Structures are given as C-alpha cells and as structure tokens.
Amino acid sequence: MAILTVNQLSKKYGKITALQQVSFSVPQGSVFGILGPNGSGKTTLLGIVMEVLKSSGGTFQLFDEVPTEKTRQRIGTLLETPNFYHYLSAVQNLKITAGIKKRGADDIDRVLQIVNLTQRQHSPFSSYSLGMKQRLAIAAALLGNPDVLVLDEPTNGLDPVGIAEIRELIKKLAKEGKTIIMASHMLDEVEKVCTHVAILKFGKLITYGDVNEILINDDIVEVVSSDLERLKNTLINMPNNTHVQITNETVHVHFAAGTANLEAINKFCFENGIVLSHLQLKKKSLETKFLELTN
C-alpha cells in the first residue's frame, strides 16, 4: 500500500510556479525524504498534502484513497515549530495540544518516553535546549499514535547534538513501524536516515526512488602517467569501469561503489606498458552527486 501518492501536483502563486506536475508515491514503512534546496517546493508540497494549501492542479491520495478527516487522523504533522507556552512544562503544553487535536490526552506519558523527555517533563519549556524543543514538537505530532509522521525540516537550526538526537529518534520511530515523510535541504541527513528520496528543484521533480540507488556514491580512482591520453584510452578498455575522463592533469576512472581495485588497475596498466606515477582512490561526495542531479 502507498501511504501517499501525488499525481501531477502543481501550485502557482500568480506568475510564480512553486510546484510543476510532481508525481511520486511513498511506500508503507519507509522513511521518505523530500530533498531540495530552499525554494524548491518542499514545504508547499507538504502544505498541500496536509490541506494547509490548495493545489492549482493535480491530485493526491492518502492510504490509496481520497483523503478524509478519518484518514488524516492517522497522520501526525510537524510543518512548523508549534507555539508552545514557554512558562509551561512539557506535560502542560502537551495537554493543550491534545485538547486542540481532541485526541491523545491519555497518550502524554507514552510520547514523552518515546522522545526521551520523561525526566524533564515538569521543567518549563524555556529551559529546554533546541534539540529538546524539537523532540517535544515531535512528541506533540505523536499524540494519538498516528501511523504516519510528516516532518518539515526536523533538524533545521539545530546544533550537531540536536541533529544527532532527532536523527536517532527518526530511526527509532521507523523501526517501530511508522512511515515518516520528511522534507530537508540537508543531503547528509537524508542519506543517513531515509530509505527513499524525491529530489525537487524549482518545483520540478528531478528523480525519486530508493536512496541507495539515487544517492549511490561512485568510487573514483585518480591515475597519472607520463602520457595521459594513452592512459585514458587504455583504461577505457578496462572491465567494470563506468566512466573515464581527464580532469586537471589527472585521469579519473569511475567504478560502482565499493568495486574499485587499485591493485588490479596498476596491474592492467603495467600489462599494457604504462607505468603509473600516481594511483589513489577518491569517493564521490554526496554534495557532488546532488549537484549533478539538480544541475
């Protein structure tokens, strides 16, 4: 079953197109990242799905059906930081949130335990770190035990400790069977926590699918000899490489992630009469991959 299916979803603000015929589906049990730079349409897309915004075109379904109030109760959302009362405790703030939602009042102890705030449940919100405040916001989204969480930039503005806390919490919730849909502009975070990803740029869908397929990192081997053209033409014929090019007086040989063998490359060149003066394995950075996709 698909948790969310968007079909040709579009949104215009006057002459500005925020989303342009975006289509993808979110598998049940996945951690699905909607990735893109600021202004790519991530928040707009989530706003439409949660009916905060109206689309200009296209359709979407939740749990393989047209959304209803009942299906929306199966989704917990964090589209922006909730306006918690700074002088109230976590428990008091969650009671207010549960009253607004009209559900989850008997769920407060459980969600505080999930987000590891039980020991600070009676401390005022103003005494919390940024990471703790964000965990409380996720606790509010978890009230009523929804099947799905929708999180917009859950690590935005946090320090490394706070980012690590939210990352581990998302992994924990995923292991418990929650489907999580999260928007982020941070490539590294999506790679570390998500199972699937959709990449947006200027409102257009660039690609989507399994993270290990979309964000796979090539092995890049740097090779140098006295005759770069001859070296390049020789390595083109080496088995299993995916691409060979000359960049900055160096031949770069690409292999699928984890398959580059420096000893085999050295031997292949030597058997073809080429002595190497430089041979080094380089990993393609995720930033490079992301720029390739969005450019």
Q: What is the pLDDT of residue 213?
A: 76
CA nearest neighbour of 54 among 23, 13, 22: 13
Q: Write the single-letter amino acid at 152.
A: D
Q: What is the pLDDT of residue 73?
A: 87
CA nearest neighbour of 3 among 24, 30, 28, 23: 28
Q: What is the pLDDT of residue 214?
A: 79
165: left (phi over 0), alpha (psi -120 to 50) or beta: alpha
The whole-angstrom separation of Cα 100 and Cα 3 is 25
CA 90 to chain centre: 28
Name beta bridge partners: 251: 223, 246
**Domains, the chain, with CATH or none:** 2-214 (3.40.50.300), 219-294 (3.30.70.100)
Tens place of pLDDT for every residue, the chain, 295 residues? 899 999 999 999 988 999 999 999 999 999 999 999 888 999 999 999 998 899 999 999 999 999 988 888 899 999 877 789 999 999 999 999 999 888 888 999 999 999 999 999 999 999 999 899 999 999 999 999 999 999 999 988 888 888 999 999 999 999 999 999 999 988 888 888 999 999 999 999 988 998 877 776 778 899 999 999 999 999 999 998 888 988 888 999 988 878 889 999 999 999 999 999 999 988 666 666 677 666 6
Q: What is the pLDDT of residue 86?
A: 94
Structure tokens at 227: 């005759």
The whole-angstrom separation of Cα 65 and Cα 44 is 21
